[in-house]
Chain A
Amino acid sequence: MSREVDQVNQERRRFMGVAAGAVAGTAGGAGVVVAALSSGVSSDAAAAPRTEPVSDRHRWGMLIDTAKCVDGCTACVDACDEENGLNLQAEPLGDDEAKWQNQRSAWIRKVKVQDNASGVVTNLPLMCQHCEHPPCVNVCPTGASFKRADGIVMVDRHICIGCRYCIMACPYKARSFIHEQVVQKLTRAPRGLGCVESCNLCVHRIDDGNPSPACADACAAEGHHAILFGDLNDPSGPLRQALGAQPNRQIRENLELNTGVRYAGL
């Protein structure tokens, strides 16, 4: 992505008054290193629950190596379902199965793309791409759809009114709407009728000081290691190292959203 275009884009957004929050360091680019915050009371790297509000010191992201993503494997999706209570959703009685599969909330979708000319098939997990400039945030009428200081795009379901503009705005079809009353739920993943939700990079784990989402852990446990999670703001961290070592791109990079999730081998 050209830096100039990015700048223009940001200017435009600012002009339109929709740019939310400070613009964090551009991943993969020159890398704005944000000076380490003063006190050091709660180093986020330490395995302890955080005691200070999140800051833009980190910007969380992932690199997905599609070459390592195995056809037919759903380890990441299953782990996500379990971690975030998505497997507890109950199909409404008498509902059409296909309709339900379409409607039930899913944070990760396994997608298969085929290049018709070469016949090459690529598998990849697609989830919220945690854009630096998220369209879902721009269109939200209540401010429920927001980007946390550390780059995680989320829905504050306490103020979400369920209008679903964000679902329409998302180029990645990453968001789900809860169509039914939810009976079974987990303490760590509240969920209820009438709100929109999507991947939050297992935010409860990150806040614990365990920055590793369930999908990445499950993929590694399967021996595939296709998902690498890390800090886009840390030039010497494993994620930035991996991004530098391997050609990779954003899905729909033409939209200039500067996604936090990148794909290699695509």
Chain B
Amino acid sequence: MTHFHPKLRAPVAIAPLVLLGLLCLGLAAAAQATGVGDFVVDSSRAAKLDHCVEPTEYMRRYHYELIRHQRDTTVYGGIRSTKHSLAGCVKCHVGYDAQHKPVAVNAKHQFCNACHSYAAVTVNCFDCHATVPKGESWNQVTAGDREALLPGVHPQVGAAAPAAPGAAPESRDQ
């Protein structure tokens, strides 16, 4: 940028120093966590992928619109398998501790919480919704998983199989 008002030059020049000061004060986390993708938890699946279900910038701004739309699509339309499902967000964004146990996605410093508390947003979704992937129904498993599960897993419709397909991913996750 070359068009600074002369009077602004001085403050701009000292900005790096101020930033350095902030870093020293231990505010680094807050200042840094504004970069795209910075809230993604290292131990989550998402950390190994390079994009979200929609362009990341869009997700940052509009994720709640997508989820809310999905909510009605599912509850009234019975469509559960799409990429905007809340179960999907949790599955991909949940972090894991050293024992490979999932950590609640809304727990302190975890994906949904870290950013929301930074942005002063509170959601009540997790009063009801599971915060770790547990007992997902077959359709709530992401597409890749589903392909792996397909052969032999799904018995004939109407067959009264005790090992129903709904139970397959569940037994894996529990």
Contact = CB atoms under 8 A, between A and B. Distances in A.
A204 B76 contact: no
On chain B, which size bracket covers the interface?
A: 20 to 34
B77 interface: yes
A137 to B, nearest CB: 13
B141 to A, nearest CB: 10
State the main secondary structure of chain B at its contact with A: loop
Contacts of A192: 127-128
Contacts of A46: 157
A214 B164 contact: yes
A166 to B, nearest CB: 16
B37 interface: no
A186 B71 CA distance: 17
Contacts of A162: none
B55 interface: no
A150 B76 CA distance: 10
Interface string B127-171: 111100111111110000000000000100110111011100010
Interface in B71-129: 71, 73, 75-81, 87, 90, 127-129
B137 A188 contact: yes
B105 to A, nearest CB: 11
Contact of A204 (B127, B128, B130, B166): B166
Contact of B140 (A156, A188, A191): A188
Contacts, number: 125
Given A53-B78, A205-B137, A206-B78, A187 B90 contact: yes
A169 interface: no
Nearest to B133: A187
Interface residues of A, number: 49
Contacts of A204: 80, 137, 139-140, 166
Interface stretch (A10-18, A89-97, A102-110, A216-224): A216-224
A45 B157 contact: yes
Given A204-B139, A205-B164, A212-B164, A50 B79 contact: yes
Nearest to A159: B75
B75 A186 contact: no
Contacts of A26: none
B167 to A, nearest CB: 8
B33 to A, nearest CB: 27
A210 B129 contact: no
Contact of B127 (A52, A53, A193): A193
Given A191-B128, A192-B128, A148 B139 contact: no
B76 A83 contact: no
Interface string A171-192: 0000000000110011111111
B90 A208 contact: no
28 contacts: A45-B157, A49-B81, A50-B79, A53-B77, A53-B78, A53-B79, A54-B77, A150-B78, A185-B128, A185-B130, A185-B134, A187-B137, A187-B140, A188-B137, A190-B128, A190-B129, A190-B130, A204-B137, A204-B139, A204-B140, A207-B79, A208-B137, A210-B138, A211-B158, A212-B160, A214-B164, A217-B161, A225-B160
Interface of A: 45-47, 49-54, 83, 85, 146, 148, 150, 154, 156-158, 181-182, 185-193, 195, 202-212, 214, 216-218, 220-221, 225, 238
Given A190-B130, A216-B160, 19 more contacts: A49-B139, A50-B80, A53-B73, A53-B76, A54-B78, A158-B71, A182-B128, A185-B130, A186-B130, A186-B134, A187-B87, A187-B90, A187-B140, A195-B128, A204-B80, A205-B165, A210-B164, A212-B164, A214-B166
